Amino acid sequence: MTRIRKVGVCGAAGTMGAGIAIVAARAGFETVAYDLSSDALSQAAENTAGFFEKSVARGKMSKSDRDAVLARLTSTNDLADLGNCDLVIEAVYEDPKVKQDLLATLDATCADHTILASNTSTLSITEIASGCSRQDRVVGMHFCLPAQLMRLIEMSPGVNTSDETFQAAWAWTEAVGQVPVRTQDKPGFILNALLVPFNNEAIRAVEAGVAEPADIDHAIKAGLGYKMGPLELIDLVGLDTQVRLCEAFYPITLDPRAAAPALLRRMVAAGRLGRKSGSGFYNYDDQAMYGS
């Protein structure tokens, strides 16, 4: 079985990619964070340092541990720097061609033993691996947002994924302190097969005037015991991300509940993307609610 010592993360300037890099480096693995934009990588590195600074301030880690973690984490915009990684996890846009092209490039760049993992939340692992000569060494590893705080990873083998690859990736998720759950290579796996339609129905409830966003979230949290309401979650993930999830999920399932609601598309067109833009269903300056 492949022994994983060094980890690469593609798309590491994004929220998900940056979180995955934190998970790997925090657990003691040498980690290489790759993205096309040097400026975005610099911002991600600054945010990562701030995350660990808060951990020190809260007494969750020592300054020496923080310094050790940051020393294990390097950034690059040269894909060749991932060549000697044992595991490379892609966390780029939820677009099958983008992911296929990236895996094909990694296939030609990385060592023969390297495991290539996709953080896709909706797409087929088998389809993503289809342009790669090492389909037996491709596996699905869907982290939850934010990856550095949420422990679940949906582990999905493709049709051609070898048992050795799957077991090596599974063992790594446990080594970094995450909780793996095996899923089949089905649209949306477990979480998004349930969450995409559910979150869309919450948006449609706002659009229909059933209740204000805060009241819908409060009802879900109080009635179902959720820690975060669906509209709070969409604001955290990003409304544009929810649209991309719908666009990936709906054509595969033809489930009308998975189609992007009109209100969601209007809000994205208006630049109200959630926390990252300062407003979505909530305004993050004064916590006022949006919905119409």
Is 75 within 8 Å of 12 (Cβ atoms)?
yes
Q: Which of 75, 118, 119, 192 is catalytic?
A: 192
Structure tokens at 27: 């657990």
Count of residues making up the chain: 292
The label of the residue with tokens 């994205």 reads 268
Rounded Cα–Cα distance for residues 214 and 88 (Å): 39
Task: Name the catalytic one among 142, 156, 199, 232.
Answer: 142
Contacts of 181 (CB under 8 A, 6+ apart): 152, 153, 154, 155, 190
DSSP-derived 3-state class of residue 76: strand
Looking at residue 276, its amino acid is K
Residue 113 known to be catalytic: no
Tell me, letter by letter, the H, E, C secondary structure of 267-281.
Answer: HHHCCCCEHHHCECC
Helix (H, G, I), strand (E, B) or coil at 183: coil
- Whether 174 is catalytic is no
For residue 118, indicate whether it is catalytic.
no
Q: Are 10 and 82 in contact (CB under 8 A)?
A: yes
Structure tokens at 41: 């990588």
User: CA-to-CA distance for 49 and 137, rounded, in angstroms?
Assistant: 32
Are the beta carbons of 69 and 33 closer than 8 angstroms?
no
The backbone region for 189, taken as left when phi is positive above 0, alpha when psi lies in -120 to 50, beta otherwise, is: left
Q: Of these residues, 154, 156, 200, 232, which one is catalytic?
A: 154
Which residues are annotated as catalytic?
A: 121, 142, 154, 192
